[in-house]
Copies of this chain bind each other. A is one copy, B any other.
Amino acid sequence: MSEVKIILDTRGGDKGAEELVKGAALALERFPELKLALAGDRGVIGSAAKENGMPEDRFEIIEAATEITNYDDPAQALFKKTDSSMLVSMETLAKRGDIFGMITCGNTAVLLSGVIRYLPGETRVRPALAAVLPAQNGKFTCLVDTGATVDCNPQMLHHFARLGTQLMRDMYGIASPRVGLLSNGAEPTKGNKLVKETHPLLAADETLGFIGNVEGNNALSGVCDVLVCDGFAGNQVLKVTEGTAMRIMTDIMVYARRAKSRDIAALGEHLMGIYDIGSLGGGIVLGSPKPVIKARGSADAKAVVSVCGMLLNMAAHKAVFDAEKNKI
């Protein structure tokens, strides 16, 4: 098993650097092949690492003086806050061959602009933010875009389809990923203006396994491996799924307490393992030559472990973020 080094931006999360370093320590325990570079305040990271008993030979600290917040203007931050932990992480990822990928909980807009500046892909298209979600059949569906670009044109959606296809092919070994276009009806004539104009582009692209329009109730039913939509609609699919699931989980827990049923409590835990979409995983930046994961602002230690697992899985499958392959 070869080593994989990941850089973690310890700033920009709602729960503070200590929580993220705690997650880093748990991830090192869990994954023996993992090494980490922790970007942020050397003092804070150092003492948190000590407190959590992190083995010194498996991590390094990269000093970064400032933090990018959600109030920063992306364009300004990109040029004025080059000493921030997010941009330092990105620059380090771009320059150093020994670092495989990056994790940040910080400002999404700055992150995406940063990818264009520090990690430009071959395709010169604005990167997209994908979520790989558990589908009904035990497989996974890549939802793209989930919020990076909320006003899209048909060419962007076409590009999302290609990026998502590449991810699912290379990361999950699906030879011909089935691509669906999110719409308000299954018929090819259904959709808003954007969807109607995108449909023929996807249908005409022979490199795509386009299956046509997919409605919201089938979004994660497993009918497609890649579900394409603008970032506004994708954000709704992601968050409504999460909100509905969490709401039903809450109902189940309340019911279990009232009924004093161990069976139901066990069921609740089983379902949480599948549907706790919010606290697990993170968004994958597509269009970057090296993997960058955007974790939630609210990410806790457990989320850091989960996202490290995602990156190690990507490393094991290698191909997807290879710059040559990125020329699609």
- Please pick, from B215, B221, B238, B247, the residue contacting A221 in the complex, using a CB distance under 8 A: B247
Of A89-97, A161-169, A258-266, the one touching chain B: A258-266
Q: List 6 A-B contacts (CB under 8 A).
A: A150-B184, A150-B191, A192-B231, A216-B235, A219-B236, A251-B274
Give the one of A193, A243, A251, A274 with max B CB within 10 A. Answer: A243
**Interface bracket on A:** 35 or more
Interface of A is mostly: helix
- CA of A247 to CA of B133, assembled, Å: 14
Tell me whether A147 is interfacial, beta carbon within 8 Å. yes
Copies in the complex: 2
Interface residues of A (CB under 8 A from B): 136, 147, 150-151, 182, 184, 191-193, 195, 215-221, 230-233, 235-248, 250-252, 255-256, 259, 261, 263-264, 266-267, 270-271, 274-275, 278
Give the one of A215, A231, A246, A250 with max B CB within 10 A. Answer: A215
A74 CB, min distance to chain B CBs, angstroms: 12
- What are the nearest 7 A-B pairs in CB distance? A216-B239, A217-B243, A184-B235, A150-B192, A244-B244, A217-B239, A261-B263
Task: Report the nearest B residue to A108, measured CB to CB.
Answer: B185
B residues in contact with A216, CB < 8 Å: 235-240, 242-243
Task: Report the nearest B residue to A270, measured CB to CB.
Answer: B255
B residues in contact with A275, CB < 8 Å: 248
B residues in contact with A215, CB < 8 Å: 235, 239
- CA of A250 to CA of B274, assembled, Å: 13
- CA of A256 to CA of B218, assembled, Å: 24
Q: Is the CB of A232 within 8 A of B184?
A: yes
